[in-house]
Amino acid sequence: MKILYTAKAEAKGGRDGHFKVLDGNLEGALAMPKSLGGTGGPAANPEQLFAAGYAACFASAVKHVAMKEKKTIEAPIVTAEVSLGTTDDGGFGLAAKLTLVVPGLDKAATQALADKAHQVCPYSRATRGNVPVEIVAAV
């Protein structure tokens, strides 16, 4: 793989700590969700950060596929739901659901773009075979 960009971040204190991206563009508090026994509150958690990154990356993948197909589309809207759960072996795992809306496209055309984007999106490629990802087209 030819490296085009590398992001570097650090976290201190785990889920109840602090994170920062080392180029200085993003930092914040982390808090464990109440549903996991934490305090919740006005702080991010790793699943939220992953969901935001996956949504943005997938939307860009949709735009990339449309451009390659010489289709003009409005800005795609991706809602990413990232779930944390327990696995049969006592560990933890993730699952994701991506819902795509492309204004002006019907459900079938949106689903076709979503399926193609799922093949090229770096997050989709990284999770494939390890994290179940549901891809849903909406209008």
Kindly tell me if the per-residue pLDDT of 28 is higher than 90: yes
Q: Are residues 37 and 50 in the same domain?
A: no
| Distance in angstroms (rounded) separating the CA atoms of residues 69 and 110 | 13
Residue 124 confidence class, pLDDT cut points 50, 70, 90? very high
Nearest Cα to Cα of residue 85 among 19, 131, 127, 126: 131
Range of the domain at 104: 46-138
Note the pLDDT of residue 99.
98
Q: Are residues 27 and 89 in the same domain?
A: no
Note the pLDDT of residue 120.
98
Residue type, 59: A
Note the pLDDT of residue 40.
86
Structure tokens at 64: 């990339």
- Give the angle subtended at the CA of 54 by the CAs of 46 and 98, to the nearest 5°: 110
How many structural domains comprise the chain? Answer: 2
- Mean pLDDT calculated for residue range 45-57: 97
pLDDT in tens, 54-86: 999 999 999 999 999 999 999 999 999 999 999
Q: Are residues 55 and 6 in the same domain?
A: no
Asked if 101 and 110 touch (Cβ cutoff 8 Å), the reply is: yes
pLDDT in tens, 82-122: 999 999 999 999 999 999 999 999 999 999 999 999 999 99
Residue 41 confidence class, pLDDT cut points 50, 70, 90? confident
Q: Which residues contact 37 (CB under 8 A, 6 or more apart)?
A: none
Q: Are residues 39 and 68 in the same domain?
A: no
Q: Are residues 21 and 10 in the same domain?
A: yes
Q: How far is it between the farthest Cα atoms of the chain?
A: 49
Which stretches within the chain are classed as H helix? Answer: 46-68, 107-120, 122-127
Note the pLDDT of residue 105.
96
Residue type, 90: G
| DSSP β-ladder status, 133-138 and 92-101 | parallel
